[in-house]
Structures are given as structure tokens and as C-alpha cells.
Amino acid sequence: MTEKEKQQAGELYNANDRQLLAERVAAKKLCAEYNVIPYNDYQKKERLLDRLIALRGEKTWIEANFFCDYGYNIVMGNNFYANHNLVILDCAEVVFGDNVFIGPNCGFYTAGHPEDFAVRNQGLEYAKPIKVGSNVWIGGNVCVMPGVTIGDNTVIGAGSVVTEDIPSGVVAAGNPCKVIRPVKTGDVPAPAASEEKAEEKPADKPVEKKTVPIKKREIRIEEIKK
């Protein structure tokens, strides 16, 4: 097996492998380019994300600065938003569902290292995938560790270190991150007085759900060689 095949299989691999190093260089060059694009040059940001991210839905926005290892292991659903200083160490796959909001200074780390220093010092490491469900809000300064799955409709409190799976529909926080309580439903501000007196309008027709095509990034060998 190649070192990349070992990496994708979750086995110990040499991160200093020539192919992996070249792919990291290509991704980090794109990240550096993305981070200096003028804020309102939306089209250029979109084009660069298409080159960097494997799959992404509509309304994908990542504030600068953004850093990742490879890019081709990252999948983002529709309506994805990440605040400043997002770090994704995507040595394994990192998948985000729809309507995911991420606060500033958050990290998603698939990479892990052996406890035995003699093995670790050989440059060997492993990678475990991370999965974040839909309708998830992650507060600022959160670290998500290798192999973690976060369920749908969940809130992760600011400053949390998520070391184990978190179920759907809960508020969780802490170091290590633990479930605190179920998510409150129907948490909507009361209407203003003028709105309460407004004449009732007929209910809108249900909106037909549409399937949004996901954009796919192809790895270009010429990018790696640059």
C-alpha cells in the first residue's frame, strides 16, 4: 500500500511521504491565495473554493483566514458558514451537513499521533474521519478531535473540546464536551405589538423541496507540481 492508501484506510502512515507532502503544498498555496482575496470579490472566492474543496453545496461562505491540509477530503452541505480562523486538518474525510454555522477560531482535527514517542518520532501518524450533521451550531474556539460524529440539530458551546460522539438534538459543552440538556424547540421571539394586531394572512403554500447539485473538485496534477 502507498502511504496515501494507508492514510485513507485509517492505518499508521508516513506524513512526510512525497506525494502527500506535494498535495499539502498545493492546498496550502490555495489557502494562502484565498486569504488575501478582497472581501467583496465573491466570484473569485467561489472559484478558488471550487479548486480547493472536494464537494460543496450552495451558499458556502468561509471567512478569512482559512486553513486546511488537503481540501479534497472536505465535504460541505448547503448554507455553510464559518467565521474567521477555521482550521480543518483533513487527513481523513470531514463532512458537514446542511445549515452548519461555525464560530471563530474553530478546529476540526482528523490527524492523531501515536503515544509511543519512538513511533511518533518516525513521522508516523493516523487519521480518523469527522462528521457533523445538519442544523448544527458550533460556538467559537471549539476543537473537534479525530473520529468524532456530531448529530443533527445540535449546539456545541464555545470553548468545547469534543473528544467523543455527540447525539442529535442536544446542547453540549465543556472540556471534554458533554451533553448538558436537550435543545429548546420553538425558541422564537414574541412578535411586536403592531404585528400582533396585523390582519392575518392566508398561509403560504408549502415550498417544494429542491435538490441542489453539489459542486465537485477534481485534483489537478499541475496544481501539485507548482
Residues annotated as catalytic are 113
Radius of gyration for the chain, computed over Cα atoms and rounded to the nearest angstrom: 20
* Nearest residue to 211 via CA among 98, 52, 72: 98
- Which grid cell is 116? 509511543
**The one-letter amino acid at 211:** T
With beta carbons less than 8 A apart as the criterion, state whether 128 and 109 touch: no
* Secondary structure letter of residue 17 according to DSSP: -
Q: Within 86-199, where are the H helices?
A: 117-120, 193-197
| Orientation of helix 42-52 relative to helix 18-34, angle to 10° | 170
* Nearest residue to 174 via CA among 163, 186, 184, 183: 163
Give the residue carrying C-alpha cell 467523543.
164
146 strand-pairing partners = none
